[in-house]
Chain A
Amino acid sequence: MKMHRYEKIWLLFGTGTLLVFLIIVGISAFYMGNQPPSCAVTLDPQKVDETPPFDQPGLKQIGEDEYQLTIVASAFNYDVGTEDKVVKIPKGSTVHFNVTTKDVVHGFQLVGTNVNMMLEPGYISTYTNTFKKPGKYTLLCNEYCGVGHHLMAATIEVTE
């Protein structure tokens, strides 16, 4: 088949770009171990309150500068383990978020960070993030979940 020289150039360019993108996705998934936040880890959504660690939501130190933050979402609240819904974390610490929902699908977005997950009943969503910059980060629901959706929020405060 006779092909124009320019046509060969742009076909090579397009195929090359596709290959580069696919290789990056492959390295990210199989070498660096990146996976979706909810990776088929399940629990009984009706027994969330009795299932550890969700029976005691809140911040737990598990190492030097390393924390596990367990949160239970429900309409229309995030149970972060504190009365005022503020979690204080020292700057530079790594936090493993461990979250589930008791009722419907909720969102879990920590504004200004890469923490952004979907919470589905029956599934545990996890994400690990290191907080380098101090400040107040708002945690909010970005999946419409009902009439109180806009009231669903909490705060993560990264202190010096």
Chain B
Amino acid sequence: MAQAEVNRRRTPEKKKSSEGKSLKGTLASVMIMGVLIIVSWLGVWALYLSR
């Protein structure tokens, strides 16, 4: 029973599955993170210039 489970996991069908995944969510979160970093940087810079 356990051996059958191991054999099933070893089958190479998993290799293909990661390529077809949608990366929209990853793109969105990376861009949100990037914009946050840029906005906070600009905020600190504006504070520096205004003083």
Interchain nearest-CB distance for A65 vs B (Å): 18
Also in contact, A6 and B24, with CB within 8 A (given A13-B34, A17-B34): yes
Residue from A4, A6, A17 whose CB has the most chain B CB atoms within 10 Å: A6
B39 interface contact, C-beta 8 A = no
Complex CA–CA separation, A113 to B50 (angstroms):
9
Q: Which residues of B lie under 8 Å from residue A4 when comparing CB positions?
A: 23
**Interface of A: prevailing SS:** helix
A: contact size bracket: 10 to 19
Complex CA–CA separation, A6 to B27 (angstroms):
6
Which residue of chain B lies nearest to A113 when distances are taken between CB atoms in the complex? B51
Residue from B24, B38, B41, B51 whose CB has the most chain A CB atoms within 10 Å: B51
Q: Which residues of B lie under 8 Å from residue A10 when comparing CB positions?
A: 26-27, 30-31, 34
Query: Quick check: B34 and A7 within 8 Å, CB to CB?
Result: no
Those 9 A-B pairs whose CB atoms lie nearest each other, nearest first: A6-B27, A10-B30, A6-B23, A114-B51, A113-B51, A4-B23, A13-B34, A114-B48, A10-B27
